[in-house]
Amino acid sequence: MRDIELLAPAGDLERLKAAIYYGADAVYIGGKRYGLRAGTNNFTIDEIKEGVRYAHARGKRVYLTLNIIPHNEDLVGLDEYIAATHDLGIDAYIVSDPGIFTLVKKVAPKAEIHISTQANNTNWMSALFWHNMGAKRVVLARELSISEIKEIRRNVPDTLELEAFVHGAMCISYSGRCLLSNFLTGRDANKGECTHPCRWKYYLVEEKRQGEYFPVFEDDRGSYIMNSKDLCMIEHLPELIDAGVSSLKIEGRSKGIYYVAVTVNAYRKALNSYMKDLESYRFDKSLLEELSEASTRDFTTGFYFGRPGPEEHNYNKDICRTSHDFIGIIRGYDRDKKLIKVEQRNRLFANEEVEVLTPHGVYPFNTGTLYDADFNEIDCAPHAQQTVWMKSEKEFAEFDVLRRKRV
């Protein structure tokens, strides 16, 4: 059985470290330019250097997105950027444009190149073209079915890796190529500035009745006519692997650290369980429940088992539900004093019952007495990212997460 990679998103250095801590084999990141998530913090050159060092020290890989659809001005300085990041040890570049592909081959001829889903990789001839040009991997379009992926795998060499999305937001435009954001707001989705107008409410206006708004459906909240459910394939990893996919990709470079922790942790457990015993594998349904504990829309399997129908959209809402509140992230443990150091993310109270999420399980925990950064006793931690100390006989590690179940 070939190695299967779990590939996680990392919008910044903290999320990169969290993704690796919770079990990602590789992470994909973006710099301050050239990637399709301009709204995230993204990485400076120095942060890329630290992220690569951190990942490589743990045997993990880092891929850098250069997947915009560029205009002429976007090419200025790109060669120097490729050279600088290649020297830092980037393991692969994710590109969608033939011009950027050519430039990477020229500046860093030995660099590994992955072809982004933005390149509309929907058939084996396209995949074979990119492989013959020197690509190591093709990221498959989200619009493919399992049977189509199998056909691609049969018709391309084993030396070409196939990567597919398994979790995260779905785009209503073909392989993410969308002009709606540009048309409505002037922000170009193909250059990383999407405003997600597919998630907005829409009403009808009759030409001669300006100011009178009619819901597309009879609902006083309007209608979310393009609002797709989120992709979730955690129950179907065996089918994807059997189809020939070797990298399982989680979407979400714009998502927070709690999403990264919960999602990577759940997929890591599912993948490990399957790879350990292929014949008698049974999916653990508690992992699906665990995924729902991060802020999420309803789930869909997308195009993998046929074309999506009306039930794959949320027409009446764009509500991200969650059963838990993310309240803190552990930053360290003082063994002598038996205290854990917590960075608060939402209001945290003394003597409340919470949970600690770790890669090894979820543990009930009472916060007990709280102490501020100067070890003064406090009743609650109301300030954003406030440092809090609390007693714990159990040693927890950095990036373990505190969360509170909603009543």
Q: What is the mean pLDDT of residues 106-124?
A: 96
> In the structure, what pLDDT confidence band is assigned to residue 218 with cuts at 50, 70 and 90?
very low
| CATH fold label, 324-405 | Elongation Factor Tu (Ef-tu); domain 3 (2.40.30)
Contact indicator for 272, 4 with CB cutoff of 8 Å: no
For residue 386, the SS3 value is coil
Which burial class, exposed, middle or buried, applies to 50 when counting CB atoms under 10 A from its CB (0-12, 13-18, 19+)?
A: middle
Element containing residue 94 per DSSP (H, E): strand 92-95
> In the structure, what pLDDT confidence band is assigned to residue 181 with cuts at 50, 70 and 90?
low
User: What residue spans define the domains of the chain?
Assistant: 5-173+228-312, 324-405
Sign of torsion over alpha carbons 47, 48, 53, 55: positive
For residue 78, the SS3 value is helix
- Give residue 171's pLDDT: 65
- Give residue 41's pLDDT: 72
Instruction: Return the amino acid letter for 43.
Output: F
Average per-residue pLDDT in the chain? 88
Contact indicator for 257, 329 with CB cutoff of 8 Å: yes
Rounded (5°) CA angle 92-167-239: 90
Residue 262 has pLDDT above 90, yes or no: yes
DSSP structural state of residue 160: S
Find residue 403's DSSP bridge partners. Answer: 326, 355
Q: What is the mean pLDDT of residues 362-391?
A: 96
Contact indicator for 315, 172 with CB cutoff of 8 Å: no
> In the structure, what pLDDT confidence band is assigned to residue 292 with cuts at 50, 70 and 90?
confident
CA 229 to CA 43: how far, in whole Å? 29
CA 348 to CA 350: how far, in whole Å? 7
Residue 252 has pLDDT above 80, yes or no: yes
Contact indicator for 101, 118 with CB cutoff of 8 Å: no
Mind giving me the DSSP string for 316-381? Answer: S----B-SEEEEEEEEEEETTTTEEEEEESS-EETT-EEEEEETTEEEEEE--SEE-TT--EESEE
Residue 63's CB: how many other CB atoms inside 10 A? 22
Tell me: the pLDDT tens digits for 219-231? 444 445 556 788 9
HEC string for 122-191: CCHHHHHHHHHHCCCEEECCCCCCHHHHHHHHHHCCCCCEEEEEEEECCCCCHHHCCCHHHHHHCCCHHH
- Give residue 229's pLDDT: 83
CA 139 to CA 250: how far, in whole Å? 12
CA 248 to CA 232: how far, in whole Å? 11
Nearest alpha-carbon partner for 315 in 227, 194, 204, 192: 227
Name which CATH class applies to 5-173+228-312.
Answer: alpha beta
Contacts of 307 (CB under 8 A, 6+ apart): none
Find residue 228's DSSP bridge partners. Answer: 313
Contact indicator for 29, 10 with CB cutoff of 8 Å: yes
